[in-house]
Copies of this chain bind each other. A is one copy, B any other.
Amino acid sequence: MLDDSFHVFDTTLRDGAQREGINLTVSDKLAIAKLLDEFGVGFIEGGWPGANPKDTEFFQRARTELPLKHAQLTAFGSTRRAGTRAAEDPQVLALRDSGAPVVTLVAKSDDRHVELALRTTLDENLAMIADTVTFLREQGQRVFVDCEHFFDGYRHNPGYALDVVRTAAEAGASVVVLCDTNGGMLPSDVFQIVTEVRQATGARLGIHAQDDTGCAVANTLAAVEAGATHVQCTANGYGERVGNANLFSVVPALVLKRGRDVLPEGCLREMTRVSQAIAEIANIAPATHQPYVGISAFAHKAGLHASAIKVDPDLYQHIDPAQVGNDMRMLVSDMAGRASVELKAKELGVDLSGDRETLGRIVTRVKDMELAGYSFEAADASLELLLREEIGQPVRYFEVESWRAISERRPDGSNASEATVKLYVKGERVIATGEGNGPVNALDRALRSALESVYPDLATMELTDYKVRILEGTSGTDAVTRVLIESTDGRDEWTTVGVGENVIDASWIALEQALTYGLLRRGYTQG
């Protein structure tokens, strides 16, 4: 466990979720929080309880469904309304009732915003801060105060901005966070202002930087150089407008470039995996050119330097990619994949380390499939079925002859979907039809109906998530479709992937594998 001297504070679930295109369910938020905890952040801001039902539910479910190893859950909220008492403000009470050990309170620190947006007096704003911090501290919660629009406010009226910092600190906020809410600062501005605020107030300071100048990471690092000991970031830099300071750029810079132990031992190596998994959950394509974690981040074009890179790779890369869980990749003769395939085979009890030929064949097939749109990063079950096939142990519980799915809107406005599957199982030809609320659901039901008398345990399995991504979307519906299906049998979870020229075809492939893998786990003999 790290001490309290430096805070890595993640706000993906609150500020990051403001990114255009992100829409997280409560389950998504719980899954992301789990990943952030594995990465070792100290604080996870989960949302604004009371402001919307989804965030309220998140904090409720987090109590039982989110055992955290490293992080403390943090609730976000606002100072009390003008002219009320903190103890009577429902929004403040929802923060108390969230059960979060830490609360981040947003406070206005730009006098213009106090007057224009809050429509109250400068003095009342200070009272609102003092009262709310004091009240929540009395409830036993730790409080951080986010000073919204701080940098713009400080430039416009430094005296008032400093009063806000002092008020928050004196009321018991353990960190006062200076926010570049509009994101217009450059690093030397941030360095200077943080230095001045620190000298003038002596408060413990944090930084929250938006990326509108493309300098959010640098602004965060500049604040740390000026003495801030609390950094607010988001996974992959997700956030409103351009985004926020990228957690996965700020943290490795501090650890690897400045030698600061801001993460628990061993966690930095999880970074690439965590980054990609969060992107999948947010249903945003992982940024291939993202620093440290992108698939291109350590990709070298072979040629002039190829032989020199082989002799001493450190002369051609700023860090060892293994430190962040990434790989060096040569764009012409690509060695990537071999190690992970070998490792995966070993997990399955197959030692491929002595069998260069099989290993090479599998890596080639995986790469060809990835070129065609497959992604095994999140689809272990599909990778396992592929490996078993390549080592001469293919898994087949049934052979499909054909299928057909029909969806229609009827003249009365109602929708209907129906699917028929024809297959062979244990030597018998079976035809089954299922209805569903969509074509994939209908196919799923038809397939189960065809198989359930032979494999009754299918009844214990269900699909828990279904994700669709259109790849190379430059020709409309002609694009290739990738589908990920998550399944569970109540004990375990597994994910399968299908790629096809349309969503039904891709779904079918993932569906067939989902059931096949489930039957394999149940130990059924093949037929």
Binding site for B on A (CB under 8 A): 18-21, 23, 25, 27-28, 52, 110, 112-113, 116-117, 149, 152, 182-184, 186-188, 211-215, 217-219, 221-222, 225, 240-243, 246, 249, 253, 257-258, 283, 288-292, 294, 296-302, 304-305, 307-308, 311-312, 315-319, 331, 334, 375, 377-378, 400-411, 415, 417, 422, 436-441, 444, 462-479, 481, 485, 500-505, 508
Contact = CB atoms under 8 A, between A and B. Distances in A.
A215 B444 CA distance: 43
Contacts of A407: 404-405, 439, 502, 504-505
B464 A474 contact: yes
A21 B474 CA distance: 15
Given A257-B186, A501-B438, A334 B221 contact: no
27 contacts: A21-B377, A23-B471, A117-B305, A117-B308, A149-B315, A182-B316, A184-B318, A187-B222, A211-B291, A214-B217, A214-B249, A214-B292, A218-B219, A240-B299, A241-B289, A241-B300, A242-B297, A415-B502, A437-B502, A438-B505, A440-B503, A463-B477, A464-B474, A465-B474, A465-B476, A465-B479, A466-B479
A218 B186 contact: yes
A441 B477 CA distance: 5
Contact of A402 (B20, B400, B411, B479): B411
Given A406-B406, A441-B502, 17 more contacts: A116-B315, A187-B187, A211-B291, A214-B249, A214-B291, A215-B253, A240-B302, A242-B290, A242-B294, A242-B297, A438-B477, A438-B503, A441-B476, A441-B478, A464-B475, A464-B476, A468-B469
A317 B210 CA distance: 11
B470 A468 contact: yes
Nearest to A407: B504
A300 B18 CA distance: 10
A329 to B, nearest CB: 9
A306 to B, nearest CB: 10
Contact of A315 (B19, B112, B215, B477): B112
A112 B315 CA distance: 8
Contact of A467 (B213, B246, B444, B473): B473
Nearest to A309: B117
